[in-house]
Amino acid sequence: MLRPNRILETALYVDDLQRAHEFYETVIGLERVLTSETLCAYDVGGQNVLLLFRRGASVSAQRLHGGSIPPHDGTGPLHLCFGTTEDDLPAWEAKLASRGVAVEGRVAWPGGATSLYFRDPDGHMLELATRGLWPSY
């Protein structure tokens, strides 16, 4: 059966790219790999890319040298989960608290994983989860 082997990129839509840059770089610690007027791309663990699009900036097709990207956009609070280790959870909680980011939830999952839930400046629900959450992680 033909099927994909991973999710390569995930997109969130933000109202203020500069504010999002500051959050994802200083709080989350991601490395920016691409910046344009409409989006910013971040490497996530050398395996995935997080795309932050300025909300409304991609509602028209984007013409590129090699083709075009169909329109897309999103509204409302979305969800994204980052992987981490159990040993790093206390440091994450301290870092979030020091930046004024409230942890809104914590779950100890039956498979042994722990998740912390908090929001980015655009209200997206972010999660940090340890191994044991899913069969593949």
* Chain centre to alpha carbon of residue 41: 10
With respect to CATH, is domain 1-65 assigned 3.40.718.10? no
Provide the pLDDT for residue 4.
86
The domain 77-137 is classified under which CATH number: 3.30.420.40, 3.40.470.10, 1.10.10.1150, 3.10.180.10?
A: 3.10.180.10
Q: CA 103, 107, 112, 113: dihedral to nearest 10 degrees?
A: -40
Provide the pLDDT for residue 125.
98
Distance CA 102, CA 96 (A): 7
Provide the pLDDT for residue 64.
83
Mean of the pLDDT values across residues 72-91? 95
Under 8 Å between Cβ of 50 and 30: yes
In eight-state DSSP terms, residue 91 is: H
Mean of the pLDDT values across residues 63-70? 89
Cα–Cα separations (whole angstroms), residue 45 to 25, 62, 72, 84, 96: 14, 28, 25, 10, 19
* CATH 3.30.720.120 in the chain, residue ranges: 1-65
* CATH 3.10.180.10 in the chain, residue ranges: 77-137
Tokens 């100890």 locate to 108
Distance CA 10, CA 23 (A): 17
pLDDT band at 81 (very low <50, low <70, confident <90, very high): very high
Q: Regarding beta strands 62-64 and 48-54, do their DSSP bridges make them parallel or antiparallel, or are they unpaired? A: unpaired
Provide the pLDDT for residue 33.
97
Kindly state the helix (H) or strand (E) to which residue 78 belongs, with its residue range.
none
pLDDT digits (tens, 9 = 90+) for 40-64: 999 999 999 999 999 999 999 988 8
Candidate from 11-20, 23-32, 50-59, 61-70 with smallest mean pLDDT = 61-70
pLDDT digits (tens, 9 = 90+) for 83-135: 999 999 999 999 999 999 999 999 999 999 999 999 999 999 999 999 999 99
- What predicted TM-score, i.e. pTM, was given to this entire model? 0.92
